[in-house]
A and B are shown apart, each in its own frame.
Chain A
Amino acid sequence: MSESVGRKIATVTGWNIIEQPRISNGKSKLQKNFSKYCQIAKREAVLLIVDMDRPSKACPCPVALIEEWTGGNAIPPGMFFRIAVREVEAWLLADHEAMRNLLGGQPKLSSDPDNMEDPKRELLNLLKRVKKYVRDDVVRVSGSNLFQGVGYNAVLEKWVNDTWSPERAAQRSESLKRAFYRLHG
């Protein structure tokens, strides 16, 4: 999901995206390869989006996360290292117009998604409202629990690409706003 969001932001801000095969997937793998991405960033621009996730003792805020990943070393100028607070789903929820387009009707949407406890859960709850045709793809209900469905990524990635606007979403998410303007230069 972060990959699609990154692509969209980069496209909107006028980056020239080099089709790079996905090198690694998942936060821990990204962290493991962080120094290699910094090497790349010496030659070309690299956009790295990482979910903040739940704050922990070791990592209470985005600054601490950056500190943890860089080990205190300077980040090369070509590296755009952005943290989604708490996760990239909050950025999706921040574009109300696109959300209404996806969900239909007048869903109740948060005006401060960056401060949500669990944005993904919130998004899944909202997705329960979509028309049945799409709903079975994107959410899976198991007992009283709600999980992502087999088409969650496919459907939302398409929606990010077609409908979601980082400019609109940046108006409600501080972390996205920073990412967006940093990239805009």
Chain B
Amino acid sequence: MIVTRLLLRNWRNFIEVDIPLHERTYLLGANASGKSNLLDVFRFLRDVSKSQGGGIQKAMHDRGGIQKVRCLHARNDPEVRIEIHLSESLDTPSDWRYILAFRNEARGEHRISVSSEEVFHNDDRLLLRPDKEDTEDPARLTQTAMEQIQANLRFRSLAKHFEGITYLHLIPQLLKFGDRIGGQLLEGDPFGQGFLERVAREPKHIRDSRLKKLGESLSWVVPHFHELRFIKDRATGHPHLEARYVHHRPGAGWQREDQFSDGTLRLLALLWILYEGDSLLLLEEPELSLNNSIVQQIPLLFQRVNRDRKKRPRQILTSTHSEALLSNEGIDPRGVLLLEPEKEGTSIRTINEREAALLRDGFSVSEVLLPAIALETAKHLSAI
């Protein structure tokens, strides 16, 4: 399944959003324009749908309550609304539609209360809340149907899809110095601390074949990179990745992940995760710590890993600032979204006709769209 459309009202810094999503979508925008806030909608849906420790109350509590999530510019409308469309592929009409709207309870404990929840499958309505029982027992509205096994039977596949949404913003130092930092692992491991455990959990034959393919992809973009292997430390039992480079003396040892460059480590984790799941993958600035010539090939790496997967391609939503990444002229411009800060909140749009014409003339996405974003940033700076 892939997400084909997203509509929002009063979510963080977006008053109103209605955007299409593609197999690979790139989010472009100035700093603080709300790229991460947009990715957070999908993480929120995942948190609501999680079979363990999920639910709307917890998901909202973890975000600091509805007052942190609701758009500041929404003065009269206290409700947050999310609508998401999914289909089997981009070319087929949307099969699934999920709508979730909520607000704070007016009285009592001021818990989050679902003001409407609907599910459609091929235009058949499978769920409409509040229903009669909700009216009789308003406490029921503190939970979504999506989070309840008893209630989501007819749209379980949707709940599973949401639950499988993955967010990755790997911070190499957390992985390299994990032992010494001793940090606690956040739910869903957004910063990739538990990446090695993730690798260790896979059955050996899958892990080995995946690492072999990853090694091939990496050797193709990381100079001198040769091969990759997984080992467990004999003394401590900790999982490790090791790599060998061709320029090493013959017989030179393998390098452990704490010796990998930050960029290599990020790339490795990113590609691994691409192989792993089936649901939407959210990536935050995959270009960080990478050389431009590698960044330019990130769209091709996505493409190749998706092709090598035995299953259908994984949908990817990427936030980026990278001129190099967007200079790849093969990027499908239909999958580019622009965040534009306005007086009241941020709006999101696809490319317009003029920009489409420029792209047809052979300019790259970076040449056509980044100047506008730079201008936005410059206006900001000149105000300081």
Which residues of B lie under 8 Å from residue A152 when comparing CB positions? 329-330
B22 to chain A minimum Cβ distance, whole angstroms, is 11
Residue of A nearest to B359 (CB): A147
Tell me whether B216 is interfacial, beta carbon within 8 Å: no
* A30 → chain B closest CB, angstroms: 14
A131 and B180 alpha carbons, distance in the complex (Å): 50
Binding site secondary structure of chain A: mixed
Residues of B within 8 A of A64 (CB): none
Interfacial residues of chain A within 95-154, with CB under 8 A of chain B in the complex: 133, 136-137, 140, 142, 147-154
- Tell me the A residues contacting B by CB distance below 8 Å: 25-26, 133, 136-137, 140, 142, 147-154
Contact A150 B307 (CB under 8 A): no
Question: Of B130-138, B275-283, B296-304, B337-345, which binds chain A?
Answer: B296-304
Contact A147 B330 (CB under 8 A): yes
Q: Which residues of chain A have C-beta atoms less than 8 A from B331's C-beta? A: 150
B90 CB to closest chain A CB (Å) equals 11
Check: B89 CB closer than 8 A to any chain A CB: no
Decide: B300 and A151 in contact? CB cutoff 8 A. yes
Which 7 pairs, one residue from A and one from B, show the smallest C-beta to C-beta distance? Answer: A150-B330, A150-B299, A151-B300, A149-B330, A150-B300, A148-B330, A150-B303
Residues in A with CB closer than 8 Å to B328 are 150, 153
* Cα of A140 to Cα of B297 in the assembled complex, Å: 16
Alpha-carbon separation in the docked complex, A153 to B329 (Å):
9
Chain A contacts of B304 at CB under 8 A?
137, 151
24 contacts between A and B (CB under 8 A): A25-B327, A26-B367, A136-B303, A137-B300, A137-B303, A137-B304, A140-B330, A140-B332, A142-B334, A147-B330, A148-B330, A149-B330, A150-B299, A150-B302, A150-B328, A150-B331, A151-B300, A151-B303, A152-B329, A152-B330, A153-B328, A153-B329, A153-B330, A154-B300
Chain B residue nearest to A155 in the complex (CB): B300
CB-CB < 8 A to B302: which residues of A? 150
| B residues 337-384 touching A (CB-CB < 8 Å) | 367
Q: Measured between C-beta atoms, what is the minimum distance from A89 to chain B in Å?
A: 12
In the docked arrangement, what's the CA distance between A141 and B327, Å? Answer: 19
- A169 CA to B293 CA in the complex, in Å? 28
Q: Nearest CB to that of B330 among chain A residues?
A: A150
A150 and B330 CA atoms in complex are apart in Å by 4
Q: Which of B274-319 contact A (CB under 8 A)?
A: 297, 299-300, 302-304, 307
Q: Which residue of B lies closest to A120 (CB)?
A: B362
In the assembled complex, the CB of A16 is this many whole angstroms from the nearest CB of chain B, namely: 22
Q: Which residues of B contact A26 (CB under 8 A)?
A: 367
Chain B residues within an 8 Å CB radius of A149: 303, 330
Closest Cβ–Cβ distance, residue B18 to chain A (whole Å): 22
Residue of A25, A142, A150, A152 with highest tally of chain B CB at under 10 A = A150
Write the chain B residue with the least CB distance to A147.
B330
